[in-house]
Amino acid sequence: MGARPYSFTASQAVNRRDSEMVDRAVIEQMVRKSLQERFTGNSPVIIRPLSHNGGPNPLVVNVSARHVHVSQQDLEILFGPGSQLTKFKDLYQDGEFASEQVVNLIGPRNRLIPGIRILGPTRNYSQVELSYTDGVYMGIDLPLRTSGDHDGTPGCVLVGPHGALNMDRGVIRAERHVHMHQSDCDHYGVHDGDYMQLKIDGPCGVVFDRVLVRQHPKVKLEVHIDTDEGNACHLPSASRIELLK
């Protein structure tokens, strides 16, 4: 006898359809999670080694992942009229925070980095800070700049739930820098605008040149480096961190 043709009952067909829908939902959830893990590591990683040469204040290094700063006007373009940033997590500096709001970044190759977190509070300009690795992926030739220096910088498109923001400039790789109170400047013998070295001891120890000093009366001692730099020295394994004049 020949093989009997396989057939579905109506109930089996419904069950199979539901199963396929569940499988697809699971797959979509896995993809979203994978993208989120890859692209939204935007919470700062603060390293406090047991050994450092801080003076009146402890020396802290913050690995700053990709993020966005926005003006109030641009925030309302992205999230709607009257929108306000809502706090997700406090940052190390008093009054600064990672917000609940995230945006998608579209570059010149039409490549996408989803879910880039906005840091608050709002500023008088909008700016996107990426690592060189991000720039290579996106096809953006990133200039090395201090925050707010946007002359001749490339732009991008930011997409929020309410609208898209076409930035004609403001995409940078932030110059590594150290925030200092005047008491910290006195301890290290430096002034605002000077450059220092950051020496990191450990299994992947390095010395970073040209760490810009940024003095302000309301800040705490904190070094900012990006994810490329943090990965290069495997900062979590650091045994000692020093700022050198």
DSSP structure string for 135-190: HHHHT----EE-TT--TT---EEEE-SS-EEEESS-EEEEPPEEEE-HHHHHHHT-
Average pLDDT over residues 147-156: 97
Same domain (yes/no): 88, 114:
yes
Residue at 29 is within a domain: no
Statement: residue 27 has pLDDT above 80:
no
| Average pLDDT score, the chain | 87
**Among 174, 199, 221, residue at a domain's last position:** 174
Q: Higher confidence at residue 53 or residue 34?
A: 53
| Residue (of 48, 46, 52) closest to 224 by Cα position | 46
Domain total of the chain:
2
Min mean pLDDT across 35-44, 86-95, 218-227 is at: 35-44
What pLDDT score does 108 carry? 87
Q: Is residue 49 part of a domain?
A: yes
- Do 164 and 126 share a structural domain? yes
Domain annotation covers residue 91: yes
Q: Do 120 and 99 touch, CB atoms closer than 8 A? A: yes
161: in domain: yes
Question: Is pLDDT of 41 > 70?
Answer: no
Pair (134, 201) in one structural domain: no
pLDDT attached to residue 44: 53
Distance CA 165, CA 23 (A): 35
Count of C-beta atoms within a 10 Å radius of residue 67: 20
Query: Are 82 and 164 members of one domain?
Result: yes
Same domain, 212 and 236: yes
* Omega cis (within 30) before 108: no
Bridge pairing between strands 51-52 and 206-215: unpaired
CATH number of the domain residue 199 falls in = 2.40.40
Q: Which whole number is the average pLDDT over 92-105?
A: 97
Structure confidence by residue, pLDDT tens digits, 178-204: 999 999 999 999 999 999 999 999 999
pTM: 0.80
User: Residues with Cβ < 8 Å from 110, sequence gap 6 or more?
Assistant: none
**pLDDT grade, residue 6 (50/70/90)?**
very low
Reading the block at residue 55, the tokens are: 């003076």
Do 205 and 164 have their domain in common? no
Residue 15 confidence (pLDDT): 53
Q: Does residue 124 lie within any of the structural domains?
A: yes
Per-residue pLDDT, 5? 46
pLDDT tens digits, one per residue of 47-80:
566 789 988 899 999 899 999 999 999 999 999 9
78 CB-near residues (< 8 Å, 6+ apart): 70, 101, 103, 158, 159, 160, 161, 162, 163, 164, 165
Q: How many CB atoms lie within 10 A of CB 44?
A: 20
Q: What is the pLDDT of residue 110?
A: 87
Same domain, 72 and 168: yes
Residue at which a domain ends, from 121, 154, 174 = 174
141 shares a domain with 69: yes
Mean pLDDT score, 149-159: 97
Determine the average pLDDT of the residues in 228-234.
94
**pLDDT at 205 (0 to 100):** 95
**Percentage, residues of the chain above pLDDT 90:** 75
**Quick one: 163 and 203 in the same domain?**
no
d(CA 42, CA 226): 11
Whether 95 and 165 map to the same domain: the answer is yes
Domain membership of residue 197 (yes or no) is: yes
Q: Are residues 203 and 213 in the same domain?
A: yes
For the chain, percent of residues with pLDDT exceeding 70: 80
Which positions ≥6 away from 230 have C-beta within 8 Å? 45, 63
Confidence of residue 106 (pLDDT cuts 50, 70, 90): very high
List the domain range (segments joined by +) for residue 76.
65-174
According to the model, what pLDDT value does residue 129 have?
98
Task: Tell which of 119, 141, 174 closes a domain.
Answer: 174
Q: Would you state the pLDDT for residue 225?
A: 96
In a domain, 8, yes or no: no
Q: Does one domain contain both 134 and 206?
A: no
